[in-house]
Amino acid sequence: MAERFDVLVHGMSESDASKLLLENTLNVQRPADRYFAATRLGLSTTEESFELLLHAVENLSVDELYDRITRRKSIEALGRRKNVRAIPTLVSVLNCTDTEAVINAITSLVRIGWEPLPDDIDLLLSLLNGEVTQIRAVIQAHTRLTIRNSKSQSVIYELCAHESVLVSGAARAYQARIYGRVDLLDPLIPQLADLVAGKRRSAVIDLGDAGDECRLPDLVRAPVSMSLRAKSFFDIVDVNNSIFTSKNHSLLEQLLTDNPQYLNFKAEWHCDMDPAEIERNLSHRDEARQYGAALSLMTIDPKSCLEIVDSMQERLWSDYVTHYYLTCIIGLRKFHQKSDLVRSALSETTPQYTKSRIAAAWACLELELYDQMELIYELSESAFWRPLRWTCQQVLARLIEKQQLDYQH
């Protein structure tokens, strides 16, 4: 389960989760509660819950549906616990027949900071004969755990020519990050504007893993979710210890303000100015189509844009994708008459709306909403999500500067 949906299990006590985790599915009123229980125990800190998760991974069947899903979620939960004592159990999962469980185990081992021994590396390499998603996870583990191994280098280099971009991109990222072959990243740049959304997203992830700072301008302009681009951006600047350079500061601001006018667009993603067409595109699963609708809202005349914003606000404000784009547009177009929506978005604490809080913070700067400075200060100090924390730090500093200039005049 994506961590932004943790709110779904907060109503479940650790005691209830412990009882549900290993219960026979036939005795559970809502069988899905069993794997919600695994996620809930991933949020716990007690020794008892940790031992229970280990027991679930080691003993649940892969044959019964809810046992299998609960086991996968327990593997995922152990990764979140980041306890090195889970490593032997997770390594044993790499030998099982459930591909999703194997992928979850690899991801959890990476989160814990596993230091694989030579035999472990051989085991990982043996998994390169599996499904595409499993091969990608194995290569990503090599990159993220910075595994230097001559056999890995040779085998993964051959995969740079794999027919699937999920495999070839991950392989190129490994060679670039671990062995300095940044030239191998060149095919990922046109992939950032591929018509297939999944290919664009995988290129963003692979560039983040590769850590080549020269690719940041292309990454920033990719028509892919701001959240995903931000993660890869921070991955790259952290590897290079370059977050504070003026160039990267400007690029990060461009990324987080998320003005669709600065993205690399293809004609297929442009959207007519018709309100119904804009609304359809904003709700499309492909972020490039969403950005196409946002671009139309940036270029349409102010009166028509406000009418569309009003209409969508009334009907779709609770949809977190629409919520985000409308908040962006209000700030970017400096619609002062919509200041209350900005205040509402900034104070929204539901995890799915965290992106909207970034858009709202930038809008506070554009609209000079000084009454929000206290909340922006709190977020600049304590926001869990780094892009939100960084945004609020920048916005607060500039609001203070603006306020001081206003006093002087």
Q: What is the pLDDT of residues 106-139, one digit of tens each?
A: 999 999 999 999 999 999 999 999 899 999 999 9
How many whole angstroms separate alpha carbon 210 and alpha carbon 151?
19
CATH T-level fold of 1-114 = Leucine-rich Repeat Variant (1.25.10)
Return the sign of the alpha-carbon dihedral for residues 204, 234, 125, 187: positive
Q: Would you say residue 177 has pLDDT above 70?
A: yes
* C-alpha to C-alpha distance for 139 and 45, rounded to whole angstroms: 31
What residue has token string 């036939």? 26
Is the full-model pTM beyond 0.95? no
Q: Look at residue 313 and tell me whether its pLDDT is greater than 80.
A: yes
**In percent, how much of the chain has pLDDT > 70?**
97
Q: Check residue 9 and give its pLDDT.
A: 66
Contact 345, 313 (CB under 8 A): no
For residues 8-34, give the mean pLDDT.
88
Task: Indicate the pLDDT class of residue 8, thresholds 50, 70 and 90.
Answer: low
Report d(CA 136, CA 165) in Å as an integer: 10
pLDDT given for residue 404 in this prediction: 85
At residue 406 the predicted structure's pLDDT band, cuts being 50, 70 and 90, is confident
How large is the angle between the packed helices 386-408 and 373-382, nearest 10 degrees? 140
| Whole-angstrom distance, CA of residue 209 vs CA of residue 211 | 5
| Mean pLDDT, residues 259-281 | 95
1 confidence band (pLDDT: 50, 70, 90): very low
Question: What is the number of H-type helices and E-type strands within the chain?
Answer: 23, 0
Whether residue 6 has pLDDT greater than 60: no
